[in-house]
Chain A
Amino acid sequence: MPDCAVILLDFTSQADIISTVEFNHTGELLATGDKGGRVVIFQREPESKNEPYSQGEYNVYSTFQSHEPEFDYLKSLEIEEKINKIKWLPQQNAAHSLLSTNDKTIKLWKITERDKRPEGYNLKDEEGKLKDLSTVTSLQVPVLKPMDLMVEVTPRRIFANGHTYHVNSISVNSDCETYMSADDLRINLWHLAITDRSFNIVDIKPANMEDLTEVITASEFHPHHCNLFVYSSSKGSLRLCDMRASALCDKHSKLYEEPEDPSNRSFFSEIISSVSDVKFSHSGRYMLTRDYLTVKVWDLNMETKPVETYQVHDYLRSKLCSLYENDCIFDKFECAWNGSDSVIMTGAYNNFFRMFDRNTKRDVTLEASRESSKPRAILKPRRVCVGGKRRKDDISVDSLDFTKKILHTAWHPTENIIAIAATNNLYIFQDKVNSEMH
């Protein structure tokens, strides 16, 4: 059972709705982006022998304003500053780097620490003012003195004007030199060092916009093969593309699509089949997709159907019309693998999130709420009852709060630590019993 380690942040304004959560490659840092264009980075405190119970708490490391609201004067439209995605670059030196993007512009930020300060300049005094040269009688070598840790964040690159439509995903290539950004109709390949040029590798825009029936919803590079990437569509299909095949990868190498179940067909079939997130497994062998009601595990070698399908909240199937009316049916939930690819996790409504163990086929529903998340309290599994027998503490489908949705979740790359974004609040849970992967 996951154990609640700490609850962080509490805001009540719209601008503080968390819009993305991402661990870095070691899990030491956790970045969150919000609707107000800010990025907050948390750092895990090293375990100390003195206080073993507070091992590995995440504390605020740095906060910065990544994107500002802009106004597109040509179209008379506002460009939201909401951070859609954050992706960490693999660490290559003492500094950390991440990419953050809003609807239109991607920025590369460098995060550095400064804990020493040079003192003893010859020409400047302590405040930085120029010294009167007549008072300088001897030369000294400046020495580095320790100072309070200061975290500096600087924008190193700004990749602008690459997208006409809204950027929905970014993904860093395993070659650590390039990355791709995907909007509704196009995917661009960028070099991390070059901001005035990008290559279009996928373009599904029809010649006549009236013929538009499908958009790109998510995309990701393969974790090991730098030539492979996948993108998902609003019609529920996945396309694996090989960049070696051609410059423009409009022709997929593999198309992953499950035939529609004719007995389950309704007017909402297409909408609920739209894939909202796609994630490669750490092994690179599988893909995880999330559509409105299910999560599916696909084997890269099998295009005809997923190898595993898990129902997230099938009790909503009879409520699709109401969910269409209030737009909840368009909510984009994310999904996540654990470090060993044995457990998958995704969010749902009422601040519930679900975990599925692929080996034991067991699943659990947990709630991220203040009441159930006292420090060191163990999360209680929740149940949604559909009618019929109702146990104590069960929640009925009609009592679910559809404004409390968990869209963004992240799993630590190696340990059983998860970060859950519930509207304005960030929860971090740790599995105390099984800290190691199994």
Chain B
Amino acid sequence: MPVETQEERGETASPVGEIQLLRWSLLSWEPLPLSGASLRSHDSWTCSLLVPECRLWDPVHVFLTPVVPQWPFYNLDTMFMRGLKRKCFDGEEDIEGTLAGIKAIPSYNLQRQSLLDMSLVKLQLCHMLVEPNLCRSVLIANTVRQIQEEMTQDGTWQMINMQNTGQASVDRLVSTDILCRSSREQAEGKHVPGYSTFSKDFEGDQAQDSSETMSTASSVQALRNLQSNVWEMENSQENKGNFQKSLDQIFETLENKSPNSVEDLFSEVDNSYYDLDTMLTGMMSNTKMGHCDGLEPFPSPTTTTSSSNCKSDLNELDHIVEILVES
């Protein structure tokens, strides 16, 4: 049931007004059948698969599905396996061509890095309206810890910290298939980057690699060129301490679900985050990374936001939810 808000009546001027308009019009749509996702068809891979299903948000989910750009890690396994076997497939030359500066087979460290980024993003996607799945969060967090430990043992961690901040490139296509293969397969003579080549890899990738990958918001960097420059990401924490803090914050947030803790989690992130969130769906976190392309008709968010604005947005969110639940 559409409910006219103060903003809609024009009594107050607030960017939230347009958000609510968006919400009501979305709710009146018929849910479209979702296209089946398969590993073969790249076109049907979308970010929305990362969004946990939630009854209230289904129309939004459906709406955003066609316009969400491809997650850069799609179809890693097939891509990587083809490259490994050194066969010529149609279109494969293009992919390998764009990997200029990066080896045709990305280094293990790069792959591990992208897995780490993916995991961190997944952990943040937990902040939905429904309580996040604790089992999933714990498993992802354990994976992150595992990578972190391995990187510490490698000495990779310190090396990354020492580098200056660089700009992430959307060309940083990485394949993490090597991570999926067992060490036995690796020993059987497939390409295994040894440590002697590590520094060479790293230097080559330096320009493209993002050194702030340890920060919780790092993976957004990779998507910058896909978006309309709505976000300005900070080059924030790079050291282990902050990383651990982020992990801890995530767990605390899981334990005490409250707007405050969500705010704390993003306290180091530029506040323009919140604008985009409230614009999209009023969700509390940066769940939809690549949705800017689909939002051209909507006004770009104001550049300055304060946390008090965020607070009021969250109160609006509660209000909206109450209405939705009652209807």
Identify which of A53-61, A134-142, A398-406 touches chain B. Answer: A398-406
The answer to whether A270 touches B180, judged by C-beta atoms less than 8 angstroms apart, is: no
Chain B residue numbers with a CB within 8 Å of A326 are 37, 45, 49-50
With contacts A318-B177, A402-B38 taken as known, whether A14 is within 8 angstroms of B135 at the C-beta atoms is no
Residue from A184, A264, A404 in contact with B36 in the complex, judged by beta carbons closer than 8 Å:
A404
Chain B residue numbers with a CB within 8 Å of A325 are 50, 71, 73-74, 76, 118
The answer to whether B258 touches A75, judged by C-beta atoms less than 8 angstroms apart, is: yes
The answer to whether A322 touches B321, judged by C-beta atoms less than 8 angstroms apart, is: no
Chain A residue numbers with a CB within 8 Å of B71 are 325
The answer to whether B133 touches A399, judged by C-beta atoms less than 8 angstroms apart, is: no
Cβ distance A217 to chain B, nearest Cβ, rounded Å: 6
With contacts A318-B177, A319-B39 taken as known, whether A214 is within 8 angstroms of B138 at the C-beta atoms is yes
Cβ distance A315 to chain B, nearest Cβ, rounded Å: 11
User: In this assembly, does B43 line the interface, its C-beta being within 8 Å of a C-beta of chain A?
Assistant: no
The answer to whether B81 touches A318, judged by C-beta atoms less than 8 angstroms apart, is: yes
Residue from A210, A213, A265, A397 in contact with B39 in the complex, judged by beta carbons closer than 8 Å:
A397
User: In this assembly, does A144 line the interface, its C-beta being within 8 Å of a C-beta of chain B?
Assistant: no
Cβ distance B80 to chain A, nearest Cβ, rounded Å: 9
Cβ distance A29 to chain B, nearest Cβ, rounded Å: 28
Size class of the contact patch on chain A: 35 or more
The answer to whether B182 touches A265, judged by C-beta atoms less than 8 angstroms apart, is: yes
The answer to whether B146 touches A263, judged by C-beta atoms less than 8 angstroms apart, is: no
Cβ distance A400 to chain B, nearest Cβ, rounded Å: 6
A317–B185 CA distance with the chains assembled, in angstroms: 12
Which residues of B6-43 have CB atoms within 8 Å of chain A's CB atoms?
A: 31, 33-34, 36-40
Chain A residue numbers with a CB within 8 Å of B248 are 210
The answer to whether B49 touches A320, judged by C-beta atoms less than 8 angstroms apart, is: no
Residue from B58, B133, B146, B252 in contact with A14 in the complex, judged by beta carbons closer than 8 Å:
B58
A341–B183 CA distance with the chains assembled, in angstroms: 37
User: In this assembly, does B296 line the interface, its C-beta being within 8 Å of a C-beta of chain A?
Assistant: no
Number of A-B contacts (CB under 8 A): 159
Chain B residue numbers with a CB within 8 Å of A324 are 115, 118
The answer to whether B76 touches A69, judged by C-beta atoms less than 8 angstroms apart, is: no
Residue from B52, B135, B146, B322 in contact with A234 in the complex, judged by beta carbons closer than 8 Å:
B135
Number of chain B residues close to chain A: CB under 8 A = 65
Chain B residue numbers with a CB within 8 Å of A71 are 321-322, 325
Which has the most chain A C-beta neighbours within 10 Å: B131, B135, B147?
B135
Cβ distance A389 to chain B, nearest Cβ, rounded Å: 18
The answer to whether B258 touches A166, judged by C-beta atoms less than 8 angstroms apart, is: no
Chain B residue numbers with a CB within 8 Å of A215 are 134-135, 138
Cβ distance A186 to chain B, nearest Cβ, rounded Å: 12
User: In this assembly, does B257 line the interface, its C-beta being within 8 Å of a C-beta of chain A?
Assistant: yes
User: In this assembly, does A271 line the interface, its C-beta being within 8 Å of a C-beta of chain B?
Assistant: yes
Cβ distance A115 to chain B, nearest Cβ, rounded Å: 37
Cβ distance A81 to chain B, nearest Cβ, rounded Å: 8
User: In this assembly, does B184 line the interface, its C-beta being within 8 Å of a C-beta of chain A?
Assistant: yes
With contacts A80-B130, A318-B177, A399-B38 taken as known, whether A213 is within 8 angstroms of B142 at the C-beta atoms is yes
A124–B254 CA distance with the chains assembled, in angstroms: 59
Cβ distance A367 to chain B, nearest Cβ, rounded Å: 15
A76–B34 CA distance with the chains assembled, in angstroms: 29
The answer to whether B255 touches A209, judged by C-beta atoms less than 8 angstroms apart, is: yes
Q: Taking A213-B138, A322-B77 as given, write out 19 further A-B residue pairs in contact, using a Cβ cutoff of 8 Å, ordered by the A residue number.
A: A14-B53, A15-B55, A35-B55, A71-B322, A78-B129, A184-B135, A209-B252, A209-B254, A234-B135, A270-B139, A318-B81, A319-B180, A330-B139, A396-B40, A398-B39, A398-B78, A399-B38, A401-B37, A403-B37
> Which residues of A are in contact with B by a Cβ distance under 8 Å?
12-15, 35, 69, 71, 75-80, 103, 165-166, 184-185, 209-210, 212-215, 217, 234, 262-268, 270-271, 274, 317-322, 324-327, 330, 396-404
Per CB-CB distance, the 9 closest pairs between chain A and chain B, nearest first, are: A263-B184, A398-B40, A75-B257, A326-B49, A184-B134, A320-B180, A401-B36, A209-B255, A321-B180
A-B contact pairs, 6 of them (CB 8 A): A15-B55, A76-B321, A166-B134, A210-B251, A210-B252, A397-B39
